[in-house]
Amino acid sequence: MVKKDRVINLFLELVQIDSETMQERRIADVLTKKFKELGLEVLEDDSAAVTGHGAGNLIATLKGNGKVNAEPILFTCHMDTVKPGIGIKPRIDEDGWIRSDGTTILGSDDKAGVAALLELIQVLQENQIPYGDIQFVITAGEESGLRGARALDAKHLNATYGFALDSNGEVGSICVAAPTQARIEMEIFGKSAHAGVNPEDGISAIQVAGKAIARMKLGRIDHETTANIGKFEGGGATNVVTDYVKLYAEARSIVHEKVEKQIAEMKQALDSACHDYGARGEMNSNIIYPAFNHTEEAAVVQLAKQAAGQIGLSGRTFHSGGGSDANIFNGLGIPTVNLAVGYENIHTTSERIKADDIVKAAELVLEIVKAAPTQASS
**Residue numbers belonging to the annotated binding site for Zn(2+):** 109, 143, 166
E strands, the chain, are: 41-44, 58-62, 73-78, 91-92, 97-99, 134-139, 161-167, 174-178, 180-189, 219-222, 225-234, 244-253, 280-289, 292-293, 317-319, 336-340, 352-354
Burial class (CB in 10 A: 0-12, 13-18, 19+), 128: exposed
Q: How far is CA 257 from CA 168, 180, 251, 254, 325, in A?
A: 27, 10, 11, 9, 21
Task: Give the C-alpha separation, 204 to 245, whole Å.
Answer: 9
Burial class (CB in 10 A: 0-12, 13-18, 19+), 179: buried
Find all residues with CB under 8 Å of 269, minimum gap 6, and list them: 212, 213, 215, 216
Q: Give CA angle at 236 (231, 242), nearest 5°.
A: 85
Q: CA 375, 71, 39, 362: dihedral to nearest 10 degrees? A: -140
Q: Is residue 107 a contact partner of residue 88, using CB atoms and an 8 Å limit? A: yes
Task: Give the C-alpha separation, 260 to 248, whole Å.
Answer: 17
Task: Give the C-alpha separation, 257 to 263, whole Å.
Answer: 10
The annotation places the binding site at 109, 143, 166
Can you say whether the dihedral through the CA atoms of 354, 35, 152, 301 is positive or negative? negative
**How many other CB atoms sit within 10 Å of the CB of residue 376?**
7
Catalytic residues: 142
Find all residues with CB under 8 Å of 299, minimum gap 6, and list them: 161, 335, 373
